[in-house]
Amino acid sequence: MTRRSQRRALSLILATSVVWSQVTPAAHADPRPASAEGWQRSTSARLVADGSLSDVLALSSGDVWAVGQQQIWDVWKNRGTIRHWNGTRWGEVPIRDAGTVNLRGVAAGSSSDVWAVGDGVDGLPYLAHGDAGGFSRVRVDGLWAGDWLGGVDARSGQVVAVGSGKSRDPRRNEVVGLIVTGEHGRWTVQETEAQGALYAVADGFAVGDTGTRPLIAHESDGQWKAMPVPDIPGGYLRDVQVDSARRAVAVGGVYHGPDDVEPLVLSWNGKRWKRERVPGGESRLYGVTGDGKGRYWVSGYDPSRAAEAFMLRHEKGDWEIIRGGTTRGRDTVRLQAVTYLAGKGAVWAVGHAIDSAERYTDVVESFGPGSQPPKDS
């Protein structure tokens, strides 16, 4: 495979590894930029060439974490990266004994209790723990070669990572969702009853797909069970934001075929999941965040206006599109994840931009009333 073909292949993977989706487009026109909220600035965490950020988490405006990948086209130099924003600049955090690793998710119980997940060069899922001083790999009994971790959640004394792998039951010759829970150094590995994969987890909710339908699992008394969800052929979910036991939002898409995807948003009211009508009929949705009070922001990519950063915002029952401006040398912008900065009314989204030569550059987009966007380091 040529370097150019590899770029196209990864471009498709990054856009659709999270792929699948379409809803009847809602009758929304793109909103005009509002004075109260608009895009502030597009910058970078300065990853090495051909880099992309896959996840971001803000503990405060001076304590933001992001993970991703650098030199993705060089099999010998390809490596994961963990970046930390200290309120002034982005810095790279050391990853001990990592080798080649692909990082997908980040979560934290506190600034000294941060977790990252991905794939290790040894074929085993990669789980690392650390702080601004550095990260070290954590080995988990019960994870097998070929297992995959895509999302992580953490709180004081506990971490939960989700992904997929072959069933531990020899009678089940299928790939199932995996939930890996660590509490005070003790680990358990559970699997979903349904086949499929889980991509994100937050506050007792894990989301993914069965391969043909959306999948949501919920934890109760230490056990994870699938929840009833709307029957959406081709549906998948890639991220979830949980405000409380009675309010949550999950995002993803509905896959109809190559280049035929529409956005999917499900909302939880404490009793059932329902499908939301959202604008952006061809957009891909990757990440979701919220302020805990019913306002949500969803990051993604709109192939119809690929050079503009794309975001959905929900407030007071309405969904609207927010777009960034175009920047010279950026033909495509994909925002893979988004986080809310509590107390600042600001939202930061991360991902990558692609130029006409199909080179990747990481991006950090910032917007919100009164927010101060991150400066280049």
d(CA 305, CA 287): 19
The pTM (predicted TM-score) of the whole model is: 0.88
pLDDT at res. 25 = 26
**If the chain, 377 residues long, is cut into consecutive pieces of 10 residues, what is the mean pLDDT of each piece?**
36 35 28 42 88 96 94 73 95 83 94 94 91 95 94 94 96 96 93 96 98 96 95 98 97 95 97 96 96 95 95 94 89 97 89 95 82 50
The one-letter amino acid at 364? V
Helix (H) or strand (E) holding 7: helix 3-16
Report whether 302 contacts 21 (CB < 8 A): no
Residue 352 pairs in a beta bridge with: 334, 362
- Position 282: which residue type? E
Domain 3-367, CATH among 3.40.190.10, 3.40.50.80, 3.40.50.2000, 2.130.10.10: 2.130.10.10
pLDDT at position 219: 96
What gap in Å lies between CA 317 and CA 45, rounded to an integer?
A: 34
Q: From 116, 66, 138, 160, select the one nearest 377 (Cα to Cα).
A: 66
Long-range contacts formed by 261-264: CB under 8 A, 24+ apart:
261/16, 261/19, 261/20, 261/21, 261/22, 262/21, 262/22, 262/23, 262/25, 263/21, 263/22, 263/23, 263/300, 263/312, 264/20, 264/21, 264/22, 264/23, 264/214, 264/232, 264/235, 264/236, 264/237
Residue 16: what pLDDT? Answer: 35
